[in-house]
Amino acid sequence: MALLQISEPGMSAAPHQHKLAVGIDLGTTNSLVATVKSGMATVLQDEHGHALLPSVVRYMPEGEVVVGHDAQAQQSADPVNTIASAKRFMGRSLKDIADRAHIPYNFVDSSDSTKILQIQTRAGLKTPVEISAEILKTLKARAEKSLGGDLIGVVITVPAYFDDAQRQATKDAARLAGLNVLRLLNEPTAAAVAYGLDNAAEGTFVIYDLGGGTFDISILKLTKGVFEVLATNGDSALGGDDFDHRIYCWVLDRIRESTSDFNPLSENDTRLLLTKARQAKEWLTDNHEAQIVCRLSNGLLVDVTLSATQFVEFTQQLVIKTLAPTRKAMRDAQLTLEDIKGVVLVGGATRMPQVRHAVEEYFKQTPLTNLDPDKVVALGAAIQANALIGNRSEDDLLLLDVTPLSLGLETMGGLVERIIPRNSTLPVARAQDFTTYKDGQTAMSIQVVQGERELVADCRSLARFELRGIPPMAAGAARIRVTFQVDADGLLSVSAREQTNGVEAHVVVKPSYGLSEDEITHMLKSSFGSAEADKVARMLAEARVSAGAIINSVTLALAADGHLINEQEKQAIETEIQNLQTVSQAEDAAAINKAVDALNHATEAFAAARMNASVSHALSGKNLDSINL
């Protein structure tokens, strides 16, 4: 765990100390880590000079875990213990995986179809969250080695079209890897930041992001360091992998044509052919034809030639599939093609000429490709991480992102009542009142769903919870207010409250097919494997760090803005500070955390007063904008 250095209250630490924060692009095919060094965003390389870390995790016989190129090299030899593209399974149950017959892993068939997906490996059952955590741990180690210190926090990118379950799974993976997540950032927004700042771009831009396994389209308005997402859309199960898969199917057809006795492929052969397919796809970016040659385990020699024309032909449907979300985003943003100043291509799959042509044809302009489509997302994440941690001067970067999918709940007849429409700017909160259906009804089951369809059955169910203790009344008399809040990470929490007697229920949405809190705690314990005494010491150290941080920050705030509250309120805060200082001397982590909570609580009104003051200050024209110029 990262330990912050805190000086004595009242004495500020070294003013220009650079805090370590990185941006991580956790990709389907490749992952990267980047940071800002002396004002420049840079991708960090491993000891062999590789920037890209293949998102492949291999569980070794001796219990070791290998991540990256070495794992990728053994994919065909050891397919069931070498997991690639785990991102495709994040926040998904087995029934969501359409083409699993062609995926060479031992998925565990659970009787409960809503349970989190698991893969049987020689190291035991692994969830996509744990597999992703191995990739994050590798990048964390790379960053800490390269930067020479512990990371204070990270920004991790996710596809803009990721739903709540997929976002939550990503955050869980970061926790397992021991990372402090400053923010989940949408990949196209990250790309826009890197592109926009680099080119001092102003106006409305489209980010077309076709990655290994996901497709996003985002439309942003760029004005003086403000990146405002107007609309986003996409397909979280469409990417470069699908083009590999089409080549793989084409090769299978050729094999079937040439031989009569053709048995189902072994896992090793499936992986081998998928790898050959990927290589052929990459080769066809700059060449007219690709030769695919390999020998299968039964001795059969495969030797076929694929022309670029054939490839374009049988992947045309995939390219077309990206245009419907594109049109939806344009319509949601209420824009016409003439409004678009530039189209930025992101993601390795946009290297394919047929993708470039389709984008060019639709937008009637040449897409912008002057940034490396593999790196631009990580660079943007690094810039955002640097800004969030406070290394960048305060008022020159602001990201206003949106919810990709509508959120609602189930009403009578399995219909969806939309509470928060898609493309609402974050953070957003909405409340709606509901009532009972039967006389004397005392409980209500609330099912939270995400998606655009009218029927609950066609949307993704995020969670179900119950509000009990409603006083018995005639049908339709009770008033139950359900409030949805989506935070800046795009994560939802829901609360319900009966208005007449105040019965309340609150859930932070934890998807039914996600990991439970207990499971995460258990995984964390087994991964640290440390003695009980170590754990106690670590908890105490962490509690003291957060105590020091809040005392420092409240003390500074009181010195600057103490006049905003009366003596009595000030006294109450100072009492809690003293109490926290006393408790921090002792060895009881729980008592320290409690005192931190008490101090936080005591400062709520003060924090709100400071917020009001800074907002009205901003509008009075005396803000930093005019001074900085």
Partner 1 sequence: MSLNYFELFGLEPIFNIELATLESNFRKIQSESHPDRFVTAPAAEKLSAMQQATLANEAYLSLKNPANRAKYLLELQGITAISETNTAMPTDFLMQQMEWREATEDAVSAKDISTLDSLLAEIRVEAKSLQESLTSLLDVQKDYAAATDATRKLIFIDKVSEDINRAIEQIDI
Dihedral class, residue 85 (left if φ above 0, else alpha if ψ from -120 to 50, else beta): left
Strands 40-43 and 407-411 turn out to be unpaired
Which residue, 203 or 427, is less far from partner 1 as judged by CB?
A: 427
Q: Does 187 qualify as catalytic in the annotation?
A: yes
Q: Whose CA is closest to 271, among 444, 592, 56?
A: 56
Q: Which is nearer to partner 1, 474 or 624 (CB)?
A: 624
Which amino acid is present at 348? G
Cα 478 to Cα 318, 439, 443, distances in angstroms: 50, 10, 11
CA distances from 188 to 243, 371, 380 (A): 21, 13, 9
Provide the 3-class DSSP secondary structure of residue 83.
strand
**From 130, 134, 172, 209, the catalytic residue:** 209
- SS3 for 456-525 is HHHCEEEEEEEEECCCCCCCCCCCEEEEEEECCCCCEEEEEEECCCCCEEEEECCCCCCCCHHHHHHHHH
What is the nearest approach in angstroms of partner 1 to the Cβ of residue 605? 9
Instruction: Return residues touching partner 1 (CB under 8 A).
Output: 152-153, 182-183, 223, 226, 324, 327-328, 331, 384, 387-390, 394-395, 398-400, 424-429, 452, 485, 487-488, 549-550, 553-554, 597, 599-601, 603-604, 606-608, 610-612, 614-615, 617-619, 623, 625
The smaller minimum CB distance to partner 1, of residues 105 and 227, is found at 227
Catalytic residue among 87, 221, 281, 375: 87
Contact assessment for residue 256 and residue 230, using Cβ atoms and an 8 Å cutoff: no
Cβ at position 130, least distance to partner 1 in Å: 26
How many other CB atoms are there within 10 angstroms of residue 528's CB atom?
12
Q: Compute the least distance from the CB of residue 141 to partner 1, in Å.
A: 23
DSSP-derived 3-state class of residue 445: strand
Active-site residue among 25, 134, 374, 498?
A: 25
- 87 catalytic per annotation: yes
Closer to partner 1 by CB, 124 or 427: give it.
427
In whole angstroms, the minimum distance from the beta carbon of 351 to partner 1 comes to 26
CA-to-CA distance for 334 and 231, rounded, in angstroms?
Answer: 9
25 is catalytic: yes
Distance CA(535)–CA(525), nearest Å, equals 9
When the beta carbons of 388 and 407 are compared against partner 1, the nearer one is 388
CB of 133 to partner 1, least distance (A): 22
Catalytic, out of 187, 216, 241, 489: 187
Residue with smaller CB distance to partner 1, 226 or 520: 226
What is d(CA 31, CA 140) in angstroms, rounded to the nearest whole number?
12
Cα–Cα distance between 513 and 200 in angstroms, integer? 43
**In the complex, least distance from residue 474 CB atom to partner 1, rounded to whole angstroms:** 18
Instruction: Give min distance, CB of 296 to partner 1, in A.
Output: 38
Task: Report the alpha-carbon distance of residue 229 to residue 220 in Å, rounded.
Answer: 4
Q: Which whole-number Å values give the CA distances from 293 to 262, 275, 378, in the listed order?
A: 18, 11, 35
State the Cα–Cα distance between residues 207 and 188, nearest whole angstrom: 6
Question: In the complex with partner 1, which residue's Cβ is closer, 259 or 623?
Answer: 623
Positions marked active-site: 25, 87, 187, 209
